[in-house]
Amino acid sequence: MFLTTTFVYNKGTGTMNTQTATYNEISSQPQAWQAALDAVGRQAEALQQLWSKKDYSQVVFTGCGSTYYLALAAAALFQELIGQAVRVSPAGELVMYPATTYSSGGPALLVAFSRSAATTETIQAAKNFRQSQSGDVLTITNYGDQPLAEMGTITIDIPEGQEESVAQTRSFASMYVAASALAALLAGRDDLLQAMQGLPELGRNLIARYEAFVQPLGENLKLDRFYFLGSGPRYGLACEANLKMKEMTLTHSEPFHFLEFRHGPISMAGPTALVIGLLSDSNHKHEAAVLEDVRQLGGKTLTLGEGDTDITFNSQLPEAIRNVLYLPPLQLLAYYRALAKGLNPDRPNNLESVVRLAW
């Protein structure tokens, strides 16, 4: 599922004798975004029929690690666009403490994310759900021939998102695009689905425009802590960006909702901290004010958003369906920090690409 890549990196010049799998996966991900849109398009009729014929009493999104954060981000968007209340739980919690998430009465829809479709907890959660005859399972994955995919009432398979590296980048983004398209589809928002066709080209341009901007930030080893701020549908993405920083670079990193950062964590802001804001349009004023507080305390900030930010999308797309654009620059930030620290981003410490347990 992955291979080891050796490399020699020349700090400051940005050149490597051999490119890592991680770099290739980050830079090529817009192709996987298009594949995700196509995958949802192929299943559109079946997905609409499943949704319209079942009056689900509950919708639950789940995953493990990166895909748990994907579930957080996707569920928030799903609820925002469709109006259906959604619960989110790590798959391991669904296995060990199902009563804390599932409610009784009526059929439910379990939406399970897994890059590999082979993660033990997610498979067991789907298995238990099916055995209890609780409802339908919708799986979103990059490996449609693996056990979890076989459990899906419908499976959205995006093989173009497959990866050799351990830390998820291209796979996460491809599944998130698919989940965003799913929400737009079930909401009957053909306008959003059409607008999403512009994402791959926007992603390619964004990477080309800002890679050189984030590289020196990643290489700045005077920074010793990173905080990722995102609210609403962007909180799950802030969690995922934080995880990439931890996995690839072994650096102290935490995610927070914007306004929560003032309630204690801001005490950690200072000259060696970088606070990264995933800014929205709808609450730009309030979110930017938090970052101004950080600057007043001597902390450094990095902002991303549609406009009036350090990294500017200028996508002209509706806010709801452009959130994937936050991911590539932040993945590259972690990538270049890993190289600057002499770490192999393809093989983070103590991690494997799939967690398999004896259940």
**Could you read off the pLDDT of 11-60 as tens digits, one per residue?**
444 444 348 999 999 999 999 999 999 999 999 999 999 999 888 999 99
Strand order in the sheet with 58-63: 86-90, 58-63, 108-114, 135-141, 154-157
Q: What is the pLDDT of residue 226?
A: 98
Is 357's pLDDT higher than 70? Answer: no
Per the prediction, the chain carries an average pLDDT of 92
Contact indicator for 289, 242 with CB cutoff of 8 Å: no
Q: pLDDT of 94-124, one tens digit each?
A: 999 999 999 887 899 999 999 999 999 999 9
Vertex 88 angle, CA 194 and 260, to 5°: 95
101 vs 88: CA distance, rounded Å: 8
Domain positions in the chain:
27-196, 199-340
Is 158's pLDDT higher than 50? Answer: yes
Contact indicator for 349, 250 with CB cutoff of 8 Å: yes
Q: Tokens for 89, please give them.
A: 């739980």
Query: What confidence category does residue 181 fall into, taking pLDDT thresholds of 50, 70 and 90?
Result: very high
Specify the CATH number of the domain 199-340.
3.40.50.10490
323 vs 338: CA distance, rounded Å: 25
- For 134-152, what is the mean pLDDT? 95
Contact indicator for 78, 179 with CB cutoff of 8 Å: yes
Longest CA–CA span in the chain (Å) reads 61
Contact indicator for 199, 225 with CB cutoff of 8 Å: no
159 vs 170: CA distance, rounded Å: 11
Work out whether the CA dihedral 180, 43, 197, 331 comes out positive or negative: positive
Query: What confidence category does residue 359 fall into, taking pLDDT thresholds of 50, 70 and 90?
Result: low
Q: pLDDT of 249-306, one tens digit each?
A: 999 999 999 999 999 999 999 999 999 999 999 999 999 999 999 999 999 999 999 9
Indicate the SS3 state at residue 338.
helix
Is 232's pLDDT higher than 90? Answer: yes
Phi, psi of 85 (to 5 degrees): -65, 140
Q: What is the fold of 27-196?
A: Rossmann fold (3.40.50)
Q: What is the pLDDT of residue 229?
A: 98
pLDDT more than 70, % of the chain: 92
Contact indicator for 22, 165 with CB cutoff of 8 Å: yes
Indicate the SS3 state at residue 111.
strand
Q: What is the pLDDT of residue 349?
A: 66
- For 66-88, what is the mean pLDDT? 97
pTM over 0.85: yes
Contact indicator for 173, 324 with CB cutoff of 8 Å: yes
Query: What confidence category does residue 134 fall into, taking pLDDT thresholds of 50, 70 and 90?
Result: confident
Residue type, 262: R
Contact indicator for 112, 138 with CB cutoff of 8 Å: yes
> Same CATH topology for 27-196 and 199-340?
yes
Q: What is the pLDDT of residue 347?
A: 86
Q: What is the pLDDT of residue 70?
A: 98
Among 308, 315, 312, 316, smallest CA distance to 291 is for 308
Query: What confidence category does residue 74 fall into, taking pLDDT thresholds of 50, 70 and 90?
Result: very high
- For 167-191, what is the mean pLDDT? 98
